[in-house]
Copies of this chain bind each other. A is one copy, B any other.
Amino acid sequence: MSLKQILQNIVENVNGGIGAVVMGYDGIPIDEYVCEIASFDVQLLAVEYSAVLKEIKRTVEVLKIGDMEEISINTDKLRVIVRTMDEELFVVLAVNSDGNYGKGRYLLKLNAPALRECLV
Q: Which residues of A contact B (CB under 8 A)?
A: 40, 44-45, 48-49, 51-52, 55-56, 59-60, 62-63, 65-78, 97, 102
Among B63, B69, B78, point to the contact of A65 (Cβ < 8 A): B78
- B45 touching A49, Cβ below 8 Å: no
> Within the assembled complex, what's the spacing in Å between the Cα atoms of A68 and B97?
12
- A71 touching B69, Cβ below 8 Å: no
Copies in the complex: 2
Q: Which residues of B contact A102 (CB under 8 A)?
A: 102
- A73 touching B44, Cβ below 8 Å: no
- A65 touching B45, Cβ below 8 Å: yes
- A72 touching B72, Cβ below 8 Å: yes
22 CB contacts below 8 A, A to B, read A40-B63, A45-B63, A45-B65, A48-B59, A48-B63, A49-B59, A52-B59, A55-B55, A56-B73, A60-B73, A60-B75, A65-B75, A65-B77, A65-B78, A66-B77, A66-B78, A67-B76, A68-B73, A69-B74, A70-B72, A72-B72, A102-B102
